[in-house]
Amino acid sequence: MPAAAMTDIHAYLERHQQKELLRLLTCGSVDDGKSTLIGRLMHDTRAIYEDQLAAIRRDSVRQGTTGGELDLALLTDGLRAEREQGITIDVAYRYFSTDRRKFIIADCPGHEQYTRNMATGASTCQLAIILIDARHGVMPQTRRHSYICSLLGIKHLVVAINKMDLVGFDEAVFEDIRRAYTDFAAGLQIHDITFIPISARDGDNVVEAGGRMPWYQGPPLLAHLETVHIASDRNLSDLRLPVQLVLRPSHDFRGFAGSIASGVLRVGDEVVVLPSRARSTVKRLVTFDGDLEEAHAPMAVTVVLADEVDVSRGDVIVRPGGEPQQASEVEAMVVWMDERPLVRGRSYLIKHNTRTVPGELEAVLHRVDVATLERRPADGLAMNEIGRCALALHRPLNFDPYAVNQATGGFIIIDRTTNGTVGAGMLCDRGDRSGGADPWAAPGVDEGGRDHRSAVTREAREERFGQRAVTLLLTGLPGSGKATLAYALEQRLFAAGRAVTVLYGPAMRRGLARDLGYGADDRSENLRRAAEVARLFNESGLICICAFVAPHEAVRARARQVIGPGRALEVHLSAPLDVRRARDRTGLYARADAGEIKAFPGVSAAYEAPVAPDLVLPTHELGEAACVDALVELLRSRGAVG
Q: Which residues are annotated as a binding site for GTP?
A: 28-35, 107-111, 162-165
Contact predicate 109/92, CB 8 Å: no
Q: What is the CA radius of gyration of the chain?
A: 29
Three-class SS state of 99: coil
The torsion region of residue 263 among left (phi > 0), alpha (psi -120 to 50) and beta comes to: left
- The C-alpha atoms of residue 603 and residue 150 are separated, in whole angstroms, by 12
The candidate with the shortest Cα–Cα distance to 626, out of 481, 471, 470, is 481
Contact predicate 158/129, CB 8 Å: yes
- The C-alpha atoms of residue 144 and residue 386 are separated, in whole angstroms, by 10
B/e letters for 301-322, b = 16+ CB within 10 Å, e = fewer, are: bbbbbeeebebeebbbbbbeee
Is the dihedral angle over the CA atoms 369, 344, 413, 256 positive or is it negative?
positive
Three-class SS state of 339: coil
Annotated binding site: 28-35, 107-111, 162-165
Q: What is the DSSP letter of 496?
A: T
> What single letter denotes the amino acid at residue 349?
L
Q: β-strands 543-548, 471-475: how paired?
A: parallel
Residue 605 is inside which H or E element, if any? none
User: 472 exposed, middle or buried (CB, 10 Å; 0-12, 13-18, 19+)?
Assistant: buried
- The C-alpha atoms of residue 625 and residue 631 are separated, in whole angstroms, by 10
Looking at the DSSP assignment, which residues form a beta bridge with residue 242? 316
- For the chain, the maximum distance between any two Cα atoms, rounded to a whole number of angstroms, is 105
- Which residues touch 611 (CB under 8 Å, ≥6 apart)? 374, 553
- The C-alpha atoms of residue 499 and residue 477 are separated, in whole angstroms, by 28
